[in-house]
């Protein structure tokens, strides 16, 4: 499992919070992901399940090899994964 340093600040904490996602859940999904995809916006994206069974889509930017700048995360609606 890779290790990343997550760059949290008020704006991205508020954004994921609006979707009911915690920083711990976001980090858990990103660190367990098998690979990074491109999102529709061109940012990096991973999909995965938390240890509690919540399925998340996490959008972020890789600042460098170990630094992740979270953008948003959400539970997709059926058919939008």
Q: Does the global pTM surpass 0.75?
A: yes
Would you say 10 and 73 are in contact if contact means Cβ atoms under 8 Å apart? no
The secondary structure element, H or E, covering residue 17 is helix 10-18
Is 35 a residue whose pLDDT tops 90? Answer: no
79 pLDDT exceeds 80? no
In this predicted structure, what is the pLDDT of residue 81?
53
Q: Domain spanning 5-74: which CATH class is it, in words?
A: alpha beta
Greater pLDDT, 24 or 80 = 24
Quote the percentage of the chain above a pLDDT of 90: 77
- Whether 54 shows a pLDDT value over 60: the answer reads yes
- Residue with the bigger pLDDT between 81 and 31: it is 31
Backbone angles phi, psi at 36, to 5 degrees: -105, 135
């Amino acid at each position: 499992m890779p290790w990343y340093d997550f760059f949290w600040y008020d704006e991205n904490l508020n954004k994921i919070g609006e979707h009911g996602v915690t920083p711990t859940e976001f980090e858990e999904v990103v660190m367990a992901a098998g690979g990074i995809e491109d999102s529709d916006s061109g940012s990096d994206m991973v999909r995965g399940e938390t240890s509690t069974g919540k399925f998340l889509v996490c959008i972020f930017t890789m600042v460098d090899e170990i630094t992740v700048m979270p953008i948003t995360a959400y539970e997709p609606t059926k058919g939008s994964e």
